[in-house]
Structure 1
Amino acid sequence: MPTPELRFDGRVAVVTGGGRGLGRSYALLLAERGCKVVVNDLGGAIRGDGPDTSVAQSVVDEIVAAGGEAIANADTVATPEGGRAIVQAALDAWGRIDVLIHNAGNVRYGAIRDLSYDDFRSVLDVHLLGAFHVVQAAFGPMCDANYGRIVLTSSVGGLYGNATCVNYGMSKAGMLGLNNIAALEGEEHGVRCNVIVPGAVTRMAEGLDISQYPPMEPELVAPVVGWLAHESCDVTGEMIASMAGRVARMFVAETRGVYRPRWTIEDVAAASPAFHEKGEVLDFGLHGHVDHIGYSFAMARSEIAEAH
């Protein structure tokens, strides 16, 4: 028996940054599977300036030519008003929003000591604040409908760091917090939120030597995002990496840790090798806030009990 095709018939998606690269691949794939798509893109240069509304429209034209339904939107994610307008475009056109993929981005390089504040804020406004603007706008309609799929975009440059990318790294690391809270608040309303950590050769790789890269087309990432956006997706609050054909789960983990009833600075220094030991790694998952506290309390109670 062939595997049933996972389709999006009757669903409506918003894809920010949908005019080029990864976003374009997401929009085309969803539309191919029956989804109605709002293709949002300012059409700007890699730094985010020089808007061109034809960029989003060109993707819409591709979708329509293939028999799908889509509309273009050129509002900015960088302001609350823009975020609301992007989501409202879906509501006005089709009366619902089922999927939100926040992919819009810009790049402005600079070391911490040299980066201008304008360049710092520009990247945060699009990546991180932009994510909040569209998530907040979509969250109410999704919760009211008791259904929603949100996919945010992080990066290995945020989760592991990369020099001269402090604005980008902070934005992409901050996506983890938004993801967790949206997943927790959406849990009882059928709204799931996850993060894609993609690796693909797009215009964001401008200036890099990619001569030794394996195949890394955006089309390798799109099916992973498609699954995260589908009603059958059974995970929430997670980070899924997709790079060069490899798909993996990424997560925050802890070592077992060390308990003492009192600590001095010298005690901490002496215990450092023990609490850095990765032999036993704890993965608390979506409810890690509560489970971390519970685990810490349980260790303290156990050690106190043994001492007596």
Structure 2
Amino acid sequence: MSGLCAGRVVVITGAGRGIGRAHALAFAAEGAKVVVNDLGAGLDGAGSATDPAQLVVDEIVAAGGEAVINGDDVADWDGAQRLIATAVESFGGLDVLVNNAGFLRDRMLANLGEEEWDAVIRVHLKGHFAPLRHAIGFWRAESKAGRPVDGRIVNTSSGAGLQGSIGQGNYAAAKAGIAALTINAAAEFGRYGVTVNAIAPAARTRMTEGAFAESMAKPDVGFDAMAPENVSPLVVWLGSTQSRDVTGRVFEVEGGKVSLADGWRHGDVVDNGARWEPAELGSVIEKLIASSEPPVPVYGAS
């Protein structure tokens, strides 16, 4: 390994399994000191256990790396504060926050319950904001004290958040919110020496194996394009000092493919110079739609 993140202190949420685990091992392999956060909950967010995170810590330590466990709920305000404090107290600072934790409560919108909506929005969207807020609190204090800051935040959005996904309205809304949170935080945090980017990964995890079982099956031979480990190199690079000029971006990553997501942009404009009459707008809307690119289809749409 190149030692790309040697000495950097990295917090990774939801790091006990899947993509988060792959991130933790990849950062440690590049010399980072890792806080492995995981509540140990089931796929639907129920229950808790420290075993998955401890296994990751043990694997890192056995390989000669440095890691500690944190079992706090990232969507709990005080828990998120303790998570950031774990990094500072264990390793003397913080350089990288990777927001990855999440779970699913899939259901068609017409059948989706309030609790199912609230739970997914909480763990994904608040579970990104709360650690982010406490991390920037630390970095802002460091900056104001005159100490150099070269901080990184890497958020986890999703193709569902960029294009939508049938049966995942709560998840798609949360992931779209994370993309917007990313560009907003990037604009605000640059003054403190902190970049903020997001990834929209496609990989085989507990959260995706049910929805994409056939397409995500492991191949008998050759490159496993859907392995979670394929996502982590980009995240490690975004967490390194090499990425200091990249911020406010959302990257899609799948297998060996990396692309830059092109978000909402202003389209063509028809200016009436005055208030429109409702009956006048039909032909205008037709013209605007005809001159625009068609939207990417929603995942799962027929």
TM range (shorter): 0.7 to 0.9
Look up the SS of the partner of 1:50 in the other structure: coil
1:202 and 1:280 map into 2 onto residues whose CA distance is 32
- Aligned counterpart in structure 2 of residue 43 of structure 1, from 37, 40, 45: 40
Residue 262 of structure 2 is matched in structure 1 by 251
1:26 and 1:277 map into 2 onto residues whose CA distance is 43
What is the TM-score of this pair, normalised by structure 1? 0.86
Which of the pair has more CA radius of gyration? 1
Residue 59 of structure 1 is matched in structure 2 by 56
Tell me by how many angstroms 1:128 deviates: 0.3
* Residue 268 (structure 1) aligned with residue 287 (structure 2): no
Q: Is the 8 A contact 2:98 2:153 kept in 1?
A: yes
Tell me by how many angstroms 1:280 deviates: 9.0
1:251 and 1:13 map into 2 onto residues whose CA distance is 28
Look up the SS of the partner of 1:198 in the other structure: strand
* Residue 127 (structure 1) aligned with residue 124 (structure 2): yes
* Residue 156 (structure 1) aligned with residue 159 (structure 2): yes
Residue 13 of structure 1 is matched in structure 2 by 10
Which runs of no fewer than 5 residues in structure 2 stay unpaired?
144-149, 217-223, 295-302
CA deviation profile, 1:234-293 (whole Å, cap 9, x unmatched): 210110000132111012223232222022223321111332355699xxxxxxxxxxxx
Tell me by how many angstroms 1:165 deviates: 1.0
Q: Is the 8 A contact 1:60 1:70 kept in 2?
A: yes
Q: Is the 8 A contact 1:198 1:243 kept in 2?
A: yes
Q: Which structure has greater helix proportion?
A: 1
- Aligned counterpart in structure 2 of residue 192 of structure 1, from 190, 195, 199: 195
CA deviation profile, 1:147-200 (whole Å, cap 9, x unmatched): 210001101111111122121111101012211221011111110000110000
Tell me by how many angstroms 1:209 deviates: 4.5
Look up the SS of the partner of 1:240 in the other structure: strand
1:27-176 pair list within 5 angstroms: 27-146=24-143, 147-176=150-179
Which runs of no fewer than 5 residues in structure 1 stay unpaired?
282-308
Q: Is the 8 A contact 2:161 2:174 kept in 1?
A: yes
Cα 1:247/1:278, change in 2 over 3 Å: farther
Residue 221 of structure 2 is matched in structure 1 by none
Q: Is the 8 A contact 1:128 1:171 kept in 2?
A: yes
What is the TM-score of this pair, normalised by structure 2? 0.87
1:48 and 1:137 map into 2 onto residues whose CA distance is 23
Count of residues in correspondence between the two structures: 278
Tell me by how many angstroms 1:113 deviates: 2.3
Q: Which has the higher contact order (CA 8 A, sep 6+)?
A: 2
* Residue 227 (structure 1) aligned with residue 237 (structure 2): yes
Cα 1:209/1:125, change in 2 over 3 Å: closer
2:239 and 2:48 map into 1 onto residues whose CA distance is 28
Amino acid across the alignment from 2:237: W
1:163 and 1:86 map into 2 onto residues whose CA distance is 34
Amino acid across the alignment from 1:275: L
CA deviation profile, 1:110-151 (whole Å, cap 9, x unmatched): 122222222211111110011111000101212333421000
Look up the SS of the partner of 1:113 in the other structure: helix
Cα 1:237/1:278, change in 2 over 3 Å: farther
Q: Is the 8 A contact 2:99 2:155 kept in 1?
A: yes
Amino acid across the alignment from 1:208: A
Q: Is the 8 A contact 1:255 1:278 kept in 2?
A: no
